[in-house]
Amino acid sequence: MKTGLRHDEYVKKLLEQRKKEERKKDPIHESGVTFTSPAGSTSTEEIRVFNEYMEQANLFKITNAAPEQRKSLMLKRFFKMKRNQQVEIYSENGENTNYTLGKVTAIGRDFVMVTNLKDRIWFPYHSIISANVPSGIPNYSNSHQSYIFDNDLKKKLLHHFGQTVSKRDALIQQFYEETLNTNLKTWKGAWVKVFAKDGIYSGQIRDVQDHILYLSSMNKKPEIELKHIHSVNSLRFFSFLTIFSKKIGM
């Protein structure tokens, strides 16, 4: 809009008009001597609803453009919505189908980890047939699943981001999307039972390199390609003793 005024004259007039404006404190975005910019021109609840719709719409656009990534992206989105909640997973196990009920603990780029009272289980996305919320269990939104950032933590993240995040699994899950390869590597020394395409293996995790899981069990050192793994179950001490006794014929 043309005003016919020079810039300095326009600024002067604008400032004079602002002095005459009636100013009201925003109870939502102004607190004390500080204030935050609103996320949009509409109400906060409308912005939140629209953001969720936008994320889902974008997800469907991406999966339509890259159908080969559809399964992993959909599963990752679903599990992020159900972080720390109970889910049921149907997964491949050779010619059979396994049913697992557990709480979503970690979500990676190509896997999900769920836990229950007995086990910690890793599922690569390629082995999951279906995932859902169990019948009869309340279906919560993911709005309350965020990590709580206190002032001290905010300061540490600002000045020592890498050092702070690397010390907490919850923060690693918040800021990074690990692969199954990197996540299993952090569990070196743990005893696991691996359900793979060509059989079942039990042993201690020695290492994970180049998408190959290296185990150590008695005199055997099996090597399993991650692409052939259906699931990885943690082994408790007594479970390990049972497997050990069967191997030595006790």
Please write the tens of the pLDDT for every residue from 73-108. 999 999 998 988 999 999 998 888 999 999 999 999
Length of the chain: 250
Extended beta strands in 46-119, E state: 86-93, 96-107, 111-115
Residue where a domain terminates, one of 65, 92, 113: 65
Asked if the structure places residue 93 within a domain, the reply is: no
Confidence grade of residue 31 (pLDDT, cut at 50, 70, 90) = low
Element (H, E) at 120: strand 120-124
How many independent structural domains does the chain possess?
2
Say how far apart CA 247 and CA 250 lie, in whole Å.
Answer: 8
Picking from 33-47, 75-89, 217-231, which range would have the lowest pLDDT averaged per residue? 33-47
Task: Supply the range of the domain harboring residue 33.
Answer: 28-65
Residue where a domain terminates, one of 65, 85, 116: 65
Who wins on pLDDT, 26 or 58? 58
pLDDT in tens, 167-221: 777 777 677 788 999 999 989 999 999 999 989 999 999 999 999 999 998 788 8
Asked if the structure places residue 126 within a domain, the reply is: no
pTM, full prediction: 0.73
Contact criterion met (CB below 8 Å) for 157 and 165:
yes
Asked if the structure places residue 154 within a domain, the reply is: no
